[in-house]
Homo-oligomer: A and B are copies of this chain.
């Protein structure tokens, strides 16, 4: 018999996408499904970016430089300066989505069997990249009671072994929405310095913070060789389908090694690099408008959730996600039940069970992630559904 590889078997199916068939079945029954399950923003991609594509003047869709268009990297350096990150274009490799930046980091810094520490709950696809790279994810649990703040640094100390090569921090966090403080980032700095680790910083949601500005890992001083920024335009400019990200580090040796992985796959898509370049010239108030919209939604969803009986939702400081604790037995079963067996005025809501975001088995059974990527009217309708559902869910558990 022809075999699938062991890693092919171990690779997890997307926990966010596995409920899709149930959603499709609900829609076929004529039900409206409010999608709070996936981080696909409903905000328009800025017209300037769309214009860059529509007006692209080319006769041949040629390979670009493996590191990305030089003009784009130079503009990106300007953008980074505007958020207090001092890098030049040779310290940036354009990647095919933030996804590829993460995979490149795992590949270039870790060998099979090496370990990376990640506070859980975490972005589920880190598991996939880890399996592709043959490395192990060591989770450290953060908790809903304190809004998923950074776990005590002693917890990290306990998990560090000779195999530990890096810590991953997603800031602001997906799925928790937590915005790490400068103090927490400084604690991370101390531990990566002490143990000589890389700090992989996934900052896809940099601009989306509602109470205090994001403190970037690239703002830390004295750890320039340790920090790798894994970035993307997907969420920042509502351009998820562009597949344009960036691998950024001041570590020259690491840039050189990563360039070889970039050369392996030749280049990132050309047209979306043009769109990314156009984004740098957006007016200064672009993020203000987007942020105001997300903040309004966050305030609404958090208020609605906490008004429900036995529901707790800490106020997330960033990104466009909220994690809520619900009076349920099993978030996978509940989310499936919402799609399969529940309706309220012929409507229902799709949520992401939190179990898929935890590396530790058995955690997240009472938690769900809600992406507030719908307008406030739809969020209200979705919350009406959830409120009704929790009243009648047969396996209620406080």
Contacts and interface: CB of A to CB of B under 8 A. Distances in A.
A41 B60 contact: yes
B96 A243 contact: yes
A14 B266 CA distance: 9
Interface in A235-280: 238-243, 251, 253-254, 257-261, 263-272, 275
Interface in A27-52: 38, 40-45, 49-50
Contacts of A112: 112, 134
B56 A44 contact: no
A230 interface: no
A4 B109 contact: yes
B60 A4 contact: no
Contact of A272 (B40, B265, B271): B271
Contact of A100 (B128, B254, B265, B272): B265
Nearest to A59: B44
Given A111-B6, A257-B11, A272 B275 contact: no
B265 A97 contact: yes
A225 interface: yes
A254 B110 contact: no
Contacts of A388: none
A3 B226 CA distance: 10
Nearest to A38: B63
Contacts of A5: 107-111, 114, 257
Given A40-B62, A198-B2, A125 B8 contact: no
Interface string A67-83: 00000000000000000
Contact of A239 (B61, B226, B266): B61
Contacts of A14: 66, 260, 263-264
A54 interface: yes
A12 interface: yes
Nearest to A62: B241
B2 A251 contact: yes
Nearest to A20: B65
Interface centre among A6, A12, A61, A243 (most CB of B within 10 A): A61
A9 interface: yes
A129 interface: yes
A132 interface: yes
Nearest to A243: B269
A153 interface: no
B254 A4 contact: yes
A258 B8 contact: yes
Contacts of A266: 97, 99, 125, 240, 243
B4 A257 contact: yes
A217 to B, nearest CB: 15
B108 A8 contact: yes
A2 B226 contact: yes
Q: What 8 A-B pairs are tightest by C-beta distance, nearest first?
A: A128-B264, A241-B270, A8-B257, A11-B260, A269-B269, A8-B108, A14-B263, A99-B265
8 contacts: A8-B107, A50-B58, A61-B240, A62-B241, A63-B240, A99-B266, A241-B269, A243-B266
Interface of A: 1-9, 11-14, 17, 38, 40-45, 49-50, 53-56, 58-64, 66, 96-97, 99-100, 103, 107-112, 114, 125, 128-129, 132, 134, 165, 196, 198, 225-226, 238-243, 251, 253-254, 257-261, 263-272, 275
Given A2-B198, A269-B271, 19 more contacts: A4-B254, A5-B110, A5-B111, A7-B107, A8-B257, A11-B257, A13-B263, A17-B66, A40-B63, A45-B58, A53-B271, A54-B56, A61-B238, A61-B272, A96-B243, A99-B264, A112-B134, A240-B266, A271-B271
